[in-house]
Structure 1
Amino acid sequence: GKYKYDYADYAEITPQLKMYTLGHKKEFKPIIGDGLRYHGCSPIISLLRRHGYIDTIAYPIDEKYVFEKAMTFMRTEGWIPAPESAYSVACAIDEALKCKRTGEEKVIAFNISGHGFLDINGYKEILGLK
C-alpha cells in the first residue's frame, strides 16, 4: 500500500490516520482468515516500517501455504492457531528456517490472536483434509 492519510473506516466517519493503506474503499476476495483483515496498518506499525525498523511480507491468497505452516505448529505445539494467526505463524516459521540456513541468531516475536478449534472446517477445505 501507500503511506498516506486515509480513513480508518469504510464510512469515512473516523479521522484520517497516516498509515500504509490499500484505500479504505478496498474490497477483498473472501478468504478463511478474513477476521482480522483490514485495508491499512496501524499508524505506529506504519511509522516503524517507514523508518526501516520492521518489514512486511505477503502470502498467496489461496492460504494453503500458511495453513500448512499452521499444521506444522499444531503438530509441534499441540494446538491449532486461528486462521488469521496462521499468517504470523507462517512468517515466524519462515524466519526461523532462514536463520537456521544462515546461522543467524535472533529473537523472533509473533502474535497468535486465538485458537482455531472452531475453524477446523476452513483448514479442511483449504488443505483438502477429511
Structure 2
Amino acid sequence: MTSELEDLAARLREFARVRDWERFHTPKNLVMALSGEVGELVAEFQWLTPAEALDLDATALARVRAELGDVTVYLTRLADVLGVDLVEAAHAKLDESDRRYDPDVYRGSARKAPPLPP
C-alpha cells in the first residue's frame, strides 16, 4: 500500500480498536457495509443524465464526496482486515486487464473479453 493508504488503514484500525469494534469488523460485515455505501453512491447518480453526472452542482458534489469517503473507508478497512494490499491488488488487476484487452482489438468497444487461460 502507498503510505497514504497505510496511514488511513492504521487510523481506521485505531478508530475501531479504541471503540472495541474489531469484533464487528469481520470481512462479512465490512463487505456488507461497503455494499450499502456503494448503493448510496449509486443513488446519487441514479436519475441523472450522463451530462448531469459530469456537471454536479456543489451540493451534489459534496454528497458524492461523502459517499466516496464512506466507500474508501470500508474498502480500506476490509483490505486491512484481510491483509490485502489494495494498490498491489489494483495493479495486478490492471495488468490482467492489459493482457485481456488488446487495444487494437478493443479500442472503442465495451464488449467483454474472454477470461485468460489458466
TM-score interval (norm. to shorter): under 0.3
Mark the structure with the bigger radius of gyration: 2
User: Larger % of helix: which?
Assistant: 2
Per the normalisation by structure 1, the TM-score is 0.23
**Larger RCO (alpha carbons 8 Å, 6+ apart):** 2
